Amino acid sequence: MTLGQVAEFFQWMFIIYFLALNLGYIGLNLLSIVSVSGYMRKRAPSFLSSFYPGFEPPITVIVPAYNEMATISDSIRSFLQLQYSQFEIVVVNDGSSDDTLAMLTREFSLVPFPEAYRVRVGAKPVRGIYLSTTHSKLRVVDKENGGKADSLNAGINASRYPLFCAVDADSILQPDSLQRVVQPFIEDPRTIASGGTIRVANGCRVDHGFLLSVGLPGNLLALFQIVEYIRAFLFGRLGWSPLNALLIISGAFGLFNKERVIEAGGFHSDTIGEDMELIVRLHRINRLKRREYKITFVPDPICWTEAPEDFRTLINQRIRWQRGLSESLFSNIRLLFHPRGGAVGWLAFPFFMLFEWMGPLIETSGYIFTIVALPLGIIEPPIAAIFFMVSVGFGVMLSTTALLLEEMSFHLYSKPRHFATLMLVAVIENFGYRQFNALCRVWGITMFLSGKRGGWGAMRRTGGWTNQKGK
Amino acid sequence: MMESVLGYVSGSNLEVKLAFYAGLGALLVTAALILIIAILRVRLIMEERRNDSFIAEWRPIITRVSAGEPLADIFLPSIARKDMPMFLMLWNHYHGFLKGEALENLNALIRSTGMDVVARRWIDSRSRAKRFISVIALGRLRDKTRWEDMALLASGQDPTLSLMAAGSMALIDPARSAPVIIPLIIERRDWPANKVMDILSKADQSAISGPLVSAILNADEKEVLRLVPFLFLADKSLSGPAVRTLLERSQDPEMISACLKTVDDPSMLDMARSYLDHPVWYVRAQAATVLGKIGFEEDGKRLVGMLSDREWWVRYRAAHALTEMPSMQSFDFAKLIRESADKYAGDIMSQALAEKKLA
């Protein structure tokens, strides 16, 4: 085989992969457009809220906390103000080495509580359970360090209600977040899990855990992530939901049927992406047992989270996400093309394997091939330029579709300059940020294949979302 | 430049041509999407501005009218066609939280502006939003003129709109609505239970009790389980015997548990006691709760025995039932905990007592 033939082979391989990938995303986009239009039509108009209260099922909000001393009090205070008929908050202090527990004790007047804690899913030993004397909805479980998944399991053991909502300690919720995310459980009793859209809080005005107004940050990395989040949630997830093939509900905010999660064995503490792994496992177990179930995505923006603004934290986060994706897919590989796999086993799982898991490897090898082939004269510079520009063109088109979905639904970024900025970001992210992201994910795959384990994946926070001013 | 690119592409291989034209297609689609977004945004901004100025003008008027100022003393601006939905939404909003005489004043306002006529007209509008507005407004006005259309919407395909219509019918004429709504509650599985509860709790109990109880007793066995929780909204003199009948004819643990949840009548104590050693744990837990509500001192001993049940929830419910029974108020729980041979029984009793103390 000559060098020219090798080049031609790779060109065809990249083109076919690239077209399949983009056709897949375009298909998801179309599904999302139909889905979001239907949802917005069906959604009870906001003016009905006072006329349309509910007798919703009670919910336990589980908040795992590890060294969250700086923000935990504001977060819990905002969670306590959620508008919902009946809920409790269980904070799980995962053996923090800072003063998280002391801070909680001081702020919420905690007293030791003689609870008959029962172990239904495995978790590290509990050192004590505390109850707030000022907020009867609040309990704190103090346990030995075991990671986020282990803390969620301890929270499940301590929970009293049939539904539990897993929430990150730094998440910013909206007053109606629980009301929105519980709707699929009310409308369809087959629902076992539901999640909503997570948005980036950087640049927004937040005061003591409450989102006051939406804005854009000055930091370019955070801006890139805003476009990524809109893309990931508004078509990445919304597209899969009508097929009941949603493979991930974000760990930052997700609502689950407790008994079904316990039956599935709770969260696996030996995985790094415990949120996705649980969802894929729930699909696998329920599909293979031929049980009726639904895992639903609610497009409403119900949770805001701080995106990393420095490279080191971002790199760690992306590596962790790719490792989590790898673990979730490979530990449930039986679902792939299983005769009872349905839309999950035959569509979503192969899509994630081919494009989300292998995508970074193929994209990066494409860049490497181009860099090597250009000086050797195997491919001509104009051809390389055409391929690169096509890739940029499709990237921008997909981001623009996500922005259209945003405009059709919640139009949170209300100022014209917000839209102009996001459009500009959707273009420039293709020149460097996208490649950087692919490299981080390749690193994540390498670490997964080398079998390294992870812990909490500490995130460096600017703490800026408290009283932060938007642009 | 473009010509030289096109010239280069036309002389290239198939894969280069394919890539180039795919990219060109993506570019055109992107441009079209940007245009659509811009149009949507401009429309939104114009609509928001119009609504803001309408609200700024009408909010003070509605406030003055609801406070009792005579309509004759207030200048009422004419309402443009485009502003009619906003007026009715504003009116519905105020009507939702005001009480007493203010509601009568608001009703006078809607009539003097002629918007009640618009609300009646909109009940069969093609716009879903207008039908919503109409259904709510007519319900709040207790307007019977479009009753048949309202009934049609209540049995329509749209679950939210049908529920709203059923709710409005219950407000307009509770007695007349019962024979329409109750069969729908039985039939419609797409009506979430919490929303049905909401409608029934707002309806007149005397009007709904008979038809509701009768419908539940005569419903298909598969549907009864879903309907039993609604029994607590019916008059006790009717719901009690109905629960007894259901318990006598069913062996299904879920049905027994659902029925026990509604029991608070001492005449059913013997029946509740008979479920204390049921093989299914949630039936035992529910029976323990019933004993906490209607049991006597001798039931205390039964509940103490249940503190050693193998199931945590049964122990928990039994412990709580013990703390809630009026006849056990003088009981020495501390001694029970100290002397209990079963650690689990002691632990759960300690927890229940601590919870009661903090409640």
**How is chain A split among helix, strand and coil, in percent rounded to 5?**
50, 15, 35
HEC-encoded secondary structure of A131-153: EECCCCCEEEEEECCCCHHHHHH
Cβ neighbour number for residue B168 with a 10 Å cutoff: 27
**Nearest Cα residue to A41 out of B122, B128, B332, B47:** B128
Buried b (16+ CB within 10 A) or exposed e, A324-348: bbbbbbeebeebbebeebbbbbbbb
Report the residue of chain A nearest B42, measured CA to CA. Answer: A416
The pLDDT of residue B88 is above 90? yes
The pLDDT of residue B136 is above 60? yes
pLDDT of residue A308: 93
Alpha helices by DSSP H, listed for A232-310, are: 258-263, 274-288
pLDDT of residue A29: 86
Buried b (16+ CB within 10 A) or exposed e, A185-213: bbbbebbbbbbbbbbbbbbbbbeebebee
Higher pLDDT, A121 or A374: A121
Confidence at A53, pLDDT banded by 50, 70, 90: very low
| A residues 92-131 lying closer than 8 A (beta carbon) to B | 113-116, 118, 131
Contact B15 A8 (CB under 8 A): yes
User: Which residues of B are less than 8 Å from A42 in CB distance?
Assistant: 160
Backbone angles phi, psi at B114, to 5 degrees: 80, 10
Put simply, whether A50 touches B (Cβ < 8 Å) is yes
Q: What region, left, alpha or beta, does residue A296 occupy, with left being phi > 0 and alpha being psi -120 to 50 degrees?
A: beta
Least confident of A443-447, B141-145, B203-207, B310-314: B203-207
**Nearest Cα residue to B273 out of B288, B261, B257, B258:** B288
Between chain A and chain B, the number of residue pairs with CB atoms below 8 A apart is 125
Contact A397 B33 (CB under 8 A): yes
The pLDDT of residue A190 is above 70? yes
pLDDT of residue A101: 95
> Rounded distance, CA B61 to CA A313, Å?
55
The pLDDT of residue A437 is above 60? yes
CA dihedral A46, A50, A51, A57 (to 10 degrees): 90
Segment A269-296 shows an average pLDDT of 94
The pLDDT of residue A468 is above 50? no
Least confident of A43-52, B51-60, B232-241, B286-295: A43-52
Of the candidates A19, A54, A118, the beta carbon closest to that of B195 is on: A54
DSSP string, B169-226: HHHH-HHHHHHHHHHHHHH-TTS-HHHHHHHHHHS-HHHHHHHHHHHHHHS-HHHHHH
Of the candidates A42, A50, A404, the beta carbon closest to that of B37 is on: A404
Sign of the Cα torsion B323, B326, B327, B332 reads positive
User: Which residues of B are less than 8 Å from A383 in CB distance?
Assistant: 12, 16
Contact A396 B30 (CB under 8 A): yes
Contact A53 B40 (CB under 8 A): no
Give per-residue pLDDT as tens, A358-412: 999 998 998 888 888 888 888 888 888 888 888 888 889 989 998 888 888 888 8
Residue type, B284: R
Both tokens of residue A212?
């006051």
